[in-house]
Chains A and B, each alone.
Chain A
């Protein structure tokens, strides 16, 4: 039985001009102890995928598909039950832009207490909070401070600590290192590694494939709402199949070796009226006539790829 599995998930936002299909038929699954990295450009739907798993998008947005955690559907249960038993207890999230997701008028401690109260925690609040603050490498004196008194890296740790407070099994981290200094970034990566050792599964959402390589066993590459390739980290880094994955890997500036990097020309298509067939068609160097037809998923060694080249 898979630990978590997402099947044919579709999430769209209704706007005045029509529906923006941010997540379009996305599937993946993880075994126990595995973590996943979701990579893709801005507006490819990677954050919406995270929000859908947390069920903090409007209910009507998720039009089809299923999400199961340890064999139990967490999408089909009533929202109240999800809020009571799953959200923050089994699945939690570190939101993008930690700097801004803390409330400026409350001390850090008050914000921790709020989470515990909300979930009717019946142990010793003080002890619980001090434990969790230690585990992310902060000292107790941060608890009495207001967010503006802390540096970006400290705030990021606090937001992570908050997500860990109720010992969830699955933590979604949305761009946890973006906008931080490199040294602080490295500390956050080590913190994520430590969480994994303690038995947590992580879903790391980022546009930076270099950071994913530090924590994820599995990788899903998203493009214009679709997950176009999914597989083990080893396979994706060593033998990327989809031309988009290949291009994405080539665009990363490296510290050693070749200086020449390539970039992907053009822009991704609008998610309001996406084109028929492969969505990467206009930017793909290997596009063929066939690519105008909708692409099924073709099996690879460790996952799948949506590209006619691997028919």
Chain B
């Protein structure tokens, strides 16, 4: 068995209700999303805010209940029984975006990292202490014995994010879901945290789902990528191919938007091949068509996610070359 995670037709709709009105609108946060993840693979989920990336992550961990769809983790279907919940919540860990908000400022670093061990009742007190120190060495927070007794406010943003990583690692997970782990950090230390994540992946054969809107850091860590737009996967495939030859107009727009440090940028307008965002969510037909510069008549129907090449899928009738 090669797959660590299989997600099939996952769907979650939220009802948006006004306080005073009984009728509400439905937000299709995740709509019929399927993907799979091999052991040791890094899959990037990319898209803007509101594209459903984080909801997908929360559904996998069952922090929220899916409306429909299957999640199979390491050969076991995740349901509401204690056994499968315990498995996924132990072997699949999450890293959140903001290291200033995701660790408790009143707890010592040692207690923060030890907490998951206590929850899952692993080891004796002495063993736990050793495991925490090992995790600190692993994320290169040295000297670990010193950091052990510190409080979060004594650490910098990059160091805090490594504490979060240590807390995830201490349970020896098979899958780590990292939700924008470096977007709050300085550019100069982003590469350091990403490098560390990659080292750990190779050493322990951990799989990652890396959630981001920043395609340039995505390329650094990922092997495969799925681009999400309004709850749907619109394009997926090997990362270098997707980023160098995008097939979906939305992927192209995301790529257009990225700045690279080139002095020539100064002289030209930034061209983004996208129409002004209409803030109405379109759920019929192609969801991107209101913003798509290539939209044709046929886009009123929903485009299926079809194979467009070796390992590549795109949901678009136009398909760029």
Contacting pair B259 A233 (CB below 8 A): no
Contacting pair B188 A264 (CB below 8 A): yes
Contacting pair A255 B261 (CB below 8 A): no
Contacting pair B188 A253 (CB below 8 A): no
Known: A186-B256, A247-B188, A261-B220. A213 touches B213 (CB 8 A): no
Known: A209-B187, A251-B187. A263 touches B269 (CB 8 A): no
Contacting pair B266 A182 (CB below 8 A): no
Q: Measured between alpha carbons, how far is A156 from B49 in the docked complex, in Å?
A: 16
Contacting pair A234 B260 (CB below 8 A): no
Contacting pair B217 A253 (CB below 8 A): yes
Within 8 A of A (CB), among B244-287: 244, 253-263, 265-266, 269-270, 272, 274, 277, 279
Contacting pair B254 A263 (CB below 8 A): no
Which of B188, B269, B272, B279 contacts A41, CB < 8 Å? B188
Number of residues in B with C-beta < 8 Å to the partner?
A: 42
Contacting pair B48 A181 (CB below 8 A): yes
Q: Measured between alpha carbons, how far is A185 from B257 in the docked complex, in Å?
A: 8
Residues of A within 8 A of B260 (CB): 210, 213, 252, 254-256
Q: Does B214 contact A (CB under 8 A)?
A: yes
Contacting pair A214 B265 (CB below 8 A): yes
**Digit string of A244-280 for contact with B (CB within 8 Å is 1, else 0)?**
0001110111111001011111010000000000000
Q: Closest B-chain residue to A194, C-beta based?
A: B269
Q: Is the interface of B mostly helix, strand, loop or mixed?
A: helix
Q: Does A9 contact B (CB under 8 A)?
A: no
Residues of B within 8 A of A179 (CB): 183
Residues of A within 8 A of B187 (CB): 207-209, 248, 251-252
**Digit string of A167-188 for contact with B (CB within 8 Å is 1, else 0)?**
0000000000001011101110
Residues of B within 8 A of A73 (CB): none
Contacting pair B216 A254 (CB below 8 A): yes
Contacting pair B191 A193 (CB below 8 A): no
Known: A42-B157, A254-B216. A216 touches B266 (CB 8 A): yes
Which of A42, A181, A193, A207 contacts B270, CB < 8 Å? A193
Q: Closest A-chain residue to B250, C-beta based?
A: A183
Q: Closest A-chain residue to B272, C-beta based?
A: A186
Q: Closest A-chain residue to B274, C-beta based?
A: A183
Residues of A within 8 A of B279 (CB): 151
Q: Does B95 contact A (CB under 8 A)?
A: no
Q: Does A25 contact B (CB under 8 A)?
A: no
Contacting pair A234 B188 (CB below 8 A): no
CB distance from B181 to the nearest CB of A (A): 13
Residues of B within 8 A of A217 (CB): 266
CB distance from A210 to the nearest CB of B (A): 4
Contacting pair A183 B254 (CB below 8 A): yes
Q: Measured between alpha carbons, how far is A247 from B189 in the docked complex, in Å?
A: 11
Residues of B within 8 A of A216 (CB): 266
Q: Closest B-chain residue to A186, C-beta based?
A: B257
Number of residues in A with C-beta < 8 Å to the partner?
A: 45
Q: Does A86 contact B (CB under 8 A)?
A: no
CB distance from A152 to the nearest CB of B (A): 8
Most buried by A among B157, B188, B195, B216: B188
Q: Measured between alpha carbons, how far is A122 from B190 in the docked complex, in Å?
A: 49
Contacting pair B188 A210 (CB below 8 A): no
Contacting pair B257 A237 (CB below 8 A): no
Contacting pair B253 A183 (CB below 8 A): yes
Q: Closest B-chain residue to A217, C-beta based?
A: B266
Most buried by A among B157, B189, B261: B261
Contacting pair A252 B261 (CB below 8 A): yes
Q: Does B59 contact A (CB under 8 A)?
A: no
Known: A182-B48, A182-B258, A183-B48. A214 touches B270 (CB 8 A): yes
Q: Measured between alpha carbons, how far is A210 from B266 in the docked complex, in Å?
A: 11
Within 8 A of B (CB), among A202-237: 207-217, 233-234, 237
Q: Closest A-chain residue to B255, C-beta based?
A: A255
Contacting pair B257 A253 (CB below 8 A): no
CB distance from B244 to the nearest CB of A (A): 8
Q: Closest A-chain residue to B189, C-beta based?
A: A263
CB distance from A279 to the nearest CB of B (A): 15
Residues of B within 8 A of A255 (CB): 215-216, 219, 243, 255, 258, 260
Within 8 A of B (CB), among A141-199: 151-152, 179, 181-183, 185-187, 189-190, 193
Q: Measured between alpha carbons, how far is A128 from B194 in the docked complex, in Å?
A: 47
Residues of B within 8 A of A42 (CB): 156-157, 186
Residues of A within 8 A of B214 (CB): 182
Q: Measured between alpha carbons, how far is A267 from B192 in the docked complex, in Å?
A: 12
11 A-B Cβ contacts within 8 A? A41-B186, A183-B277, A190-B270, A193-B269, A212-B261, A213-B263, A214-B270, A233-B263, A251-B190, A259-B219, A263-B195
5 cross-chain pairs, A with B, having the tightest CB-CB distances, nearest first: A186-B257, A263-B192, A263-B191, A210-B259, A261-B191
Known: A251-B188, A253-B216; 4 extra A-B contacts, CB below 8 A, are A152-B49, A183-B48, A193-B270, A255-B216
